[in-house]
Chain A
Amino acid sequence: DAGVTQSPTHLIKTRGQQVTLRCSPKSGHDTVSWYQQALGQGPQFIFQYYEEEERQRGNFPDRFSGHQFPNYSSELNVNALLLGDSALYLCASSLVRGAADTQYFGPGTRLTVL
């Protein structure tokens, strides 16, 4: 049973550029959440997708956007990159959105903005 997968593993970008990160949920899961983890900090919730719509959003600017596809996979897009966007980006999937089901995390994408 495949777990949550993310691509790419690492990414280096320069300020002002745009980036797209990808996530495939655990088999059978339909809800995907994205988190940003700065070095030495706990993960911070960016947003959650269910039925191809953004259902909830944390305290992140509109530069952060996403998409969920019919197969439940998801993308996170960040525009106009800032140095402060350098972080580990974690994707998590869960089975049942309304029941606070356990979120299972992928290995993350480490983004470095120069």
Chain B
Amino acid sequence: AQKVTQAQTEISVVEKEDVTLDCVYETRDTTYYLFWYKQPPSGELVFLIRRNSFDEQNEISGRYSWNFQKSTSSFNFTITASQVVDSAVYFCALSELYSGGGADGLTFGKGTHLIIQP
């Protein structure tokens, strides 16, 4: 069975600090996909990144960066020089491929509530 753990329930930092959100996953498949989504107070989930299990390259997009390590089953997300607008709930999610060739529905962690104080 697949599982995603986000151990940090809530993180509060002061603006301009760097912050890392942890994500640990469990899966028996060799082919899977990992995602990060942002959920602002409005409720809509905003896609941030998708990474497949064969691509362990770290990725940077502006102030956002992601560190994927298969050896520790982790897919951590770092925000550099945080801003108040980064305040939201962030979800890590996992999707496996099933025998019919389609992808499973996403399995989400419980989310990390990030608070950026001015």
Please name the residue on chain A nearest to B91 by beta carbon: A42
Encode contact with A along B47-65: 1 for CB under 8 Å, 0 otherwise. Answer: 1001010000000000000
Please name the residue on chain B nearest to A44 by beta carbon: B108
B105 touches A35 (CB 8 A): yes
Q: CB within 8 Å of A: which of B60-118? A: 91, 93, 95, 97-98, 100-111
Residues of A within 8 A of B (CB): 33, 35, 40-48, 50, 55-56, 58, 88, 90, 92, 97-108, 110
B3 to chain A, nearest CB (A): 11
Residues on B with C-beta less than 8 A from A97 are: 102-103
Residues on A with C-beta less than 8 A from B103 are: 97-101
Q: How far is the CA of A55 from the CA of B98 in the complex (A)?
A: 11
Residues on A with C-beta less than 8 A from B105 are: 33, 35, 45-48, 56, 58
B42 within 8 A of A: yes
B42 to chain A, nearest CB (A): 7
Query: How many residue pairs, one in A and one in B, have C-beta atoms under 8 Å apart?
Result: 69
A56 touches B45 (CB 8 A): no
Q: List 8 A-B contacts (CB under 8 A).
A: A33-B105, A35-B105, A40-B110, A41-B111, A43-B91, A45-B104, A97-B102, A101-B103
A55 touches B106 (CB 8 A): no
Q: How far is the CA of A42 from the CA of B111 in the complex (A)?
A: 6
Q: Given A42-B91, A107-B42, decide whether A102 and B47 contact each other with a Cβ distance below 8 A.
A: yes
Q: How far is the CA of A16 from the CA of B93 in the complex (A)?
A: 33
Q: Given A104-B47, A105-B44, decide whether A56 and B106 contact each other with a Cβ distance below 8 A.
A: no
B106 to chain A, nearest CB (A): 6
Residues on A with C-beta less than 8 A from B104 are: 45, 56
The 10 closest A-B pairs by CB, nearest first: A45-B105, A42-B108, A100-B103, A105-B45, A107-B44, A98-B101, A100-B33, A97-B102, A108-B43, A42-B110
B106 touches A102 (CB 8 A): no
Please name the residue on chain A nearest to B101 by beta carbon: A98
